[in-house]
Structure 1
Amino acid sequence: MSVPEPYPRPAASGRLEAAVHVPLLDALERLRSRLVALPLPLRTSGVDAVRAERDAAIAQLDDYLLPRLRAHSAPLLVVVGGSTGAGKSTLVNSLLGEVVSAPGVLRPTTRSPVLVHHPLDARWFSTDRVLPALARTSSAAPAGVGRELRLVPSATLPQGLALLDAPDIDSVDVANRALAGELLAAADLWLFVTTAARYADAVPWELLRGAARRRARAALVVDRVDRGAEAVVDDLRRMMGREGLGDSPLFVVPETVLVDGLLPEPAVAAVSRWLTDLGADAAARADVALATRDGVVDDLVGRARELAAAADAQREADARLRERVRSAYADAAAHVRAVTSDGALLRGEVLARWQDFVGTGDLFRSVEQGVGRLRDSLTGFFRGRPAVAPGVETALAHGLQAVLLDAADEAAGRAHAAWRADPAGAALLGGLELSRASRGLRDEVDRQVRGWQADVLGLVREQGAGRRGTARYLSFGVNALGVSLMVLAFASTGGLTGVEVGIAGGTAVLAQKLLEAVFGDDAVRRLTVEARERLDVRVASLLDGEATRFTGQLDALGAMQADGGPLREVVDDVVAAALAERAHRSPVPPGPAGDSRPLRGAGTVVDEAAPRPRRGFWRRLLGRDAPA
């Protein structure tokens, strides 16, 4: 991810009072909580990289940034990393002047990094203050199976400085590579080891570019350089400058024969002197830790802002998929309404049953002879033929069921196709049968249709019970009037216009006249509207239930809860706290004349031709002589 510069950095870092760290620590802890709770479940563009960035940000907070802020006076952690066969362990042993334990114990397994510390600094590392995901083992313990951090006390190191020998960054074991990256991200200072033959390899430079982007303090060691191979050193220095590491020290270790498994003292003298100066200078160590920590905070701010944008993308993808489903099933509901309002259901079997019910002549002719004559006809008609109405009711039910099943199938197919065309949706379809309506839908459709028909009969009963002079007709014809209301509901737009439409041989006209003869025009309009509304409610409930087969997948993932806004708010708090903290720093006073503080000034290149350091520097690092 590209990371913009969030705010300017002060020219000097300096030392801080402990209380100044509190607001920044609080803001970063809240940022961590936001990152942990950030849902990224949908297959949006680049989501794998985004998830990895989130995990890396959380890991760096846990492994380095929060521990460093909680204990800003902790020893400086120098992580020695590099490629396979670069000589990292040999360099560590040679700097200490001895193998820290019996052969094989320094690196009993490739998953067990070794942290060498002064005995008085043991408690800084024996707890989970840093790298809490790694179990602690002692140098004398047998090799474990899982991820371990092997602690090796050594009085040859100055107090306040620790060396961590990390796994190979290009290990064939994916877990080892990941662990190496975690350890380097937890470092106050990188000591990166490469060789004259492999200094331009892609994998090391990918990590080094990340260090430069975060402005992490780093030094490079190029190992096994043949005499006269100045071109290698010059080329490496050019690469460092091009990649933003021009101010990082560069040390050259010549090709040489090992003595008892160790490099000769002159070969590592320059690295030794540099670490010695750093270990002996508490202010310099604090400066390095602050500079690296500042870079990590700045980088984290950029990461978090991009993660907030990714959270917005998740929310948008969730809304997009829901809209596809909503649109498909809304169109299905509109289709059902259209088909059940234009008289289409009153043809075929329904028409035949209706004609059986009303007859073909006498009742229809009575419609033309006035309401009074019709009421007289109704009395005799309903008393004499009440058993035929269920045939019409059943035919209507079958027709409505077919319409609903077809509409649900069509909606499922459309929603499924829309999701399949969207990477975020396609990833959710595996193993799910969503392209057709659910298998149990037929029973639910039957239940809803029968329920609606019962609703209509209930409306007729309620209307009849509230009117004088109609009870005697309802007592003989409630089913017939209910069927008539169903027919009218399917043959009009709800009776709002009052326009009589002749559909299916006058079916709707007769149904309307029958109802008006009993209840009156206004009541029939109201009953028709209510019957339609109750049908619409049941259709919506049915289709909503089908739609939840899709939306339930999204509900389970919680992507709708993704929101970059709260994350941006806490990022702003981090920026404000960091600015305030940096404003409180007092500049570090310059060192004495001739004293070159570590990691300051132009890049440093030291090779075997350089003057050999005074024995005091080397002995001081090894703990054999008191400082001069």
Structure 2
Amino acid sequence: MNHKDPAELLAAVEHLRDSADTVRLPLVLEGAEEARAARQQLVQQLDDYVLPRLRSLDAPLLAVVGGSTGAGKSTLVNSLVGEQVSRTGVIRPTTRASVLVHTEEDTRWFTGKRVLPGLARVSGDAEGGAADDPGSVRLVTNDSLPSGLALLDAPDIDSVVKANRSLSRQLLAAADLWLFVTTAARYADAVPWDLLREASERGTSVAVVLNRVPPEALDQVRLHLASMLREQGLGKAPIFTVLEVDLNQGMIPVKHVERLRSWLQSLAGDARVRSVVIRRTLAGTLGTLDGRALVVAEAAQQQAAAHAALAKVPRTAYKDALSGVSQGVQDGSLLRGEVLARWQELVGTGEFLRTVEAGIGRLRDRVAAYFTGKQVTSEPLGDAIQTGVAALVTSHGQVAASTATRTWKQLPGGAELVREHPELGKASPELSEKVERLIRDWQGEVLELVRDEAGSRRATARYLAFGVNGLAVLLMIVVFSMSAGLTGGEVAIAGGSALLAQRLLEAVFGDQAVRSMATKARKALLVHVEQLYDDERARFERVLEEVAVPEQAAEELREAAADVEGAR
């Protein structure tokens, strides 16, 4: 493994690690769970093995002893170092916290966070909870091991405890050398061979210990195992056999593990050989980073696309709702029903309208007499307008919420969000209250428009005939003056009523001022509605913030992986 520039390679791998760590895959998409696991494994192996090894090529060789439940891993470790350093027993799972055995001389390499930084360190004599915690590694010194070699007894790869299985895979990914322990009865099991296949693909150095072999089956089992290893590209992996024998004080008699012990000592004692094993595994692992990173990057890109599609939905739904309100404000539909009835109560549609058409200038005295003599108030009409506008705004707000959630259910990643947040299917509980407040505020602004425009006209008979409230109501009628949404007899009645309102206002303010006030009032109403709908849409946006996906994460990860490839 000859790198162009070791410092450049280290910097590239550090960048890759940071880029992979920023990837978030929170949406429930097809393949997302597998991608999350791949991302976690990539970051863990970079933290646990690749970066520590690149920074310290001369650190001791770490041999992880792994295998299936009951394969005798802990017994083998104890036998190799000549003392009970790892718990054994018939109750499964036996190994809980991982046990790392090293010489006193090599202590400095393992007490800190150089390797396996996510695991807490506990002392060799720890008992109880600390010794049973899968999130810790128990450090044990033993000087029967040669300097330059450490053994790590890992939990079972097929443990019934999920945390143990995950830890075992993590530890194996951190190994310079995988010492795989199996038995004559279980060497063909599927789970270990899946891991052996991964080890072969990643170029990990592997040695196999065939434990508890009946003497009469030794040749047959060994030949079959060697054949299986060749099929998986591990034909050069050394095989060490340990016969099925009685234990001596819980340990395998020395002569049966002597060949394996001598081999391990030779690795530790020969710096060149040790370096070959370390660099082979490191090079193999580095060679897999690009492909693994691209898998995660592809998943990140899918997440970003799904997130963008989901974010677009509420924006579109509430934009359409605002357009619906805008159309409803202008198409005359608000002059239906109750509003129309209250308008007719106020001014009628017969002789009064004809008189207005004959000449608005002669109406000054009659208008005053009409409103004062009949004691008619504009409040019922104002209330009817308020009710109509509230119904329009609330209805479109409800439809927007329903449309957005229905569309989310049909998009990748959206159905799970709707299940987690069923409240999104309806407008917020406080929408009605907000709408009422919005309309009151708007009506107040319309009153101000009338006051501001009146100026010196406030003392005129025409102004006094209606008062500021009456003129404001007339202005609201003009705001809703178009009759495109009406049919049949409503057109003549509502259209004529709106024309009357406009004529009356023009008699007070002039036609240009009326058009200007109506435009301002309509825009002000839509601004308020837009702000209201923005608040409603924010409920969806807050949900999406919980599953935020960095937009550039996929591209940054691809670039980082390419940089590692270029520096190898």
- Could you state the TM-score of these two structures normalised by the residue count of structure 2? 0.89
SS state at 1:340 partner:
helix
Measure the CA separation in 2 of the matches of 1:101 and 1:412.
63
Match status 1:167 vs 2:151: no
Q: How much has 1:522 moved relative to structure 2?
A: 3.3
1:508 to 1:281, Cα distance in 2 relative to 1, 3 A:
same
Q: Distance in 2 between matches of 1:449 and 1:362?
A: 33
SS of residue in 1 equivalent to 2:377: helix
Instruction: Name the aligned partner's letter for residue 33 of structure 2.
Output: D
Per the TM alignment, residue 78 of structure 1 is displaced from its structure 2 partner at its CA by 0.7
Candidates 482, 489, 495, aligned match of 2:479? 489
2:57 corresponds to which residue?
72
For 1:51 and 1:127, locate their aligned partners in 2 and report how far apart those are by CA, in whole Å: 28
Alignment match, 1:297:
286
Moved more, 383-392 or 536-545: 383-392
Does the CA-based 8 Å contact 1:254-1:267 persist in structure 2? Answer: yes
Tell me, in whole angstroms, the C-alpha distance in 2 between the residues paired with 1:63 and 1:537.
Answer: 56
Q: Does the Cα contact within 8 Å between 2:74 and 2:88 map onto a contact in 1?
A: no
Secondary structure, aligned partner of 1:162: strand
Amino acid at match of 2:160: V
CA contact (8 A) 1:38 1:562 kept: no
The answer for the alignment partner of 2:194 in structure 1 is 206
**Which residue does the alignment assign to 2:40?**
55
Letter in 2 for 1:30: H
Report the Cα offset of residue 392 of structure 1: 1.1
2:487 is aligned to none
Shift in CA distance, 337/101, structure 1 to aligned 2, threshold 3 Å: closer
Name the CA shift for 1:283/1:503 in 2 (closer, same or farther; >3 Å).
Answer: farther
Do the aligned partners of residues 573 and 215 (structure 1) sit closer, same or farther apart at CA in structure 2, a change above 3 Å counting?
Answer: same
2:228 aligns with 239
**Structure 2 counterpart of 1:456, from 446, 451, 456:** 446
Query: Does the alignment pair 1:251 with 2:240?
Result: yes
Relative distance call for 1:295 and 1:476 in structure 2 (3 A) is farther
Instruction: Tell me: CA distance 1:503–1:277, structure 2 relative to 1, closer, same or farther (3 Å).
Output: farther
Bigger Cα displacement from structure 2, 414-423 vs 391-400? 414-423
Q: Flag structure 2 segments of 5+ consecutive residues without an equivalent.
A: 485-490
Give the distance between the partners of 2:49 and 2:345, measured in 1 at CA: 86
User: Separation in 2 of the partners of 1:235 and 1:101?
Assistant: 33
Structure 2 partner of 1:608:
none
Q: 1:282 aligns with which of 227, 247, 271?
A: 271
Shift of 1:244: 2.9
Per-residue deviation, 1:448: 0.8
Q: Is the 8 A contact 1:328 1:411 kept in 2?
A: yes
> 2:445 is matched by which residue type in structure 1?
D
Matched ranges for 1:346-425 at <5 A: 346-374=335-363, 377-378=366-367, 381=370, 388-422=377-411, 424-425=413-414
CA distance in 2, matches of 1:83, 1:242: 20
The CA RMSD over aligned residues, in Å, is 3.0
Q: Distance in 2 between matches of 1:182 and 1:469?
A: 84
Q: Which residue of 2 aligns with 1:435?
A: 425
**Distance change (3 Å), C-alpha of 1:231 and 1:515:** farther
Q: Partner letter of residue 43 of structure 1? A: V
Deviation at 1:260, TM superposition (A): 4.4
1:386–1:480 CA contact under 8 A, matched in 2:
no
- C-alpha distance in structure 2 between counterparts of 1:137 and 1:505, whole Å: 86
CA contact (8 A) 1:100 1:152 kept: no
Indicate if the aligned counterparts of 2:304 and 2:549 stay in contact, CA closer than 8 A.
yes
Equivalent runs, 1:121-140 vs 2, <5 Å: 121-140=106-125
Find 1:445's aligned residue among 432, 435, 449: 435
Candidates 289, 299, 314, aligned match of 2:303: 314
Aligned length: 554
For residues 538-558 of structure 1, give each alpha carbon's deviation from its aligned partner in whole angstroms, at most 9, with x where no partner exists. 222222222222221112443
Q: 2-side partners of 1:455 and 1:502: how far apart?
A: 30
Paired residues of 2:93 and 2:156 also in contact (CA < 8 A): no
- Secondary structure of the 2:417 match is coil
Deviation at 1:162, TM superposition (A): 1.4
The structural deviation recorded for 1:475 is: 4.4
Counterpart position of 1:534: 524
1:191: which partner in 2?
A: 179
1:549 aligns to what? 539
> CA offsets, 1:240-294, max 9 Å, x none?
2332323322333333444444434553344234323322211221222122122
Instruction: Label 1:62 to 1:342 Cα distance change in 2 as closer, same or farther (>3 A).
Output: same
> Sequence identity, in percent?
47
Deviation of residue 187 (structure 1)? Answer: 0.6
C-alpha separation in 2, matches of 1:571 and 1:77: 26
Give yes or no for contact 1:382–1:480 (8 Å, CA) kept in 2. Answer: no
Preserved CA contact (<8 Å) 2:457 2:463: no
For 1:329, give the aligned amino acid.
Y
Q: Deviations over 1:540-597 (max 9, x none)?
A: 22222222222211124433656322333333333333x2xxxxxxxxxxxxxxxxxx
- Which deviations, in whole Å up to 9, do the C-alpha atoms of 1:374-394 show, x marking residues without a partner? 566545556656852222111
Q: How far is 1:108 from its partner?
A: 11
How far did residue 188 of structure 1 move?
0.7
For residues 389 and 118 of structure 1, do their structure 2 counterparts lie closer, same or farther at Cα, with a shift above 3 Å needed? same
Which whole-Å CA distance do the structure 1 matches of 2:473 and 2:451 have between them? 12
CA distance in 2, matches of 1:470, 1:57: 81
List runs of 5+ in structure 1 lacking aligned partners: 1-12, 495-500, 580-628
Q: CA shift at 1:34, angstroms? A: 3.0
**Alpha-carbon distance between aligned partners in 2 of 1:123 and 1:279, rounded to the nearest angstrom:** 17
Equivalent-residue separation in structure 2 for 1:530 and 1:99 (angstroms): 90
Instruction: Show the 5 A alignment for 1:316-331.
Output: 316-331=305-320
Aligned residue in 2 for 1:567: 557
Distance in structure 1 (CA, Å) of the matches to 2:549 and 2:376: 56
* CA distance in 2: counterparts of 1:363 and 1:437, whole angstroms: 44
The 3-state SS of whatever aligns with 1:506 is helix
Give yes or no for contact 2:23–2:550 (8 Å, CA) kept in 1. no
Distance 1:166 1:553, change over 3 A: same
2:324 aligns with one of 323, 328, 335: 335
Give the C-alpha shift of residue 469 in structure 1. 9.8
Distance 1:186 1:305, change over 3 A: same
Q: What CA distance in whole angstroms lies between the structure 2 residues aligned with 1:139 and 1:206?
A: 32
Displacement of 1:354 after TM fit?
A: 0.7
- State the 4+ residue runs in structure 1 displaced beyond 4 angstroms: 100-105, 374-387, 467-472
Separation in 1, partners of 2:541, 2:312: 10
Instruction: Give the secondary structure class of the aligned counterpart of 1:304.
Output: helix
Alpha-carbon distance in structure 2 between the residues aligned to 1:470 and 1:527: 20
Distance, in Å, in 2 between the alignment partners of 1:103 and 1:403 is: 73
CA distance in 2, matches of 1:102, 1:482: 88
Partner Cα distance (1:138, 1:450) in 2? 71
The answer on whether the counterparts of 2:205 and 2:277 sit within 8 Å (CA) in structure 1 is yes
Task: Answer yes or no: is the 8 Å Cα contact 1:356–1:388 preserved in 2.
Answer: no
Is residue 2:151 matched to residue 1:151? no
Evaluate the alpha carbon distance shift between residue 507 and residue 183 of structure 1 in structure 2; reply closer, same or farther with a 3 A threshold: same
Label 1:102 to 1:204 Cα distance change in 2 as closer, same or farther (>3 A).
closer
Task: Say whether residues 1:113 and 2:103 are aligned partners.
Answer: no
- The one-letter amino acid of 2:348's match is G
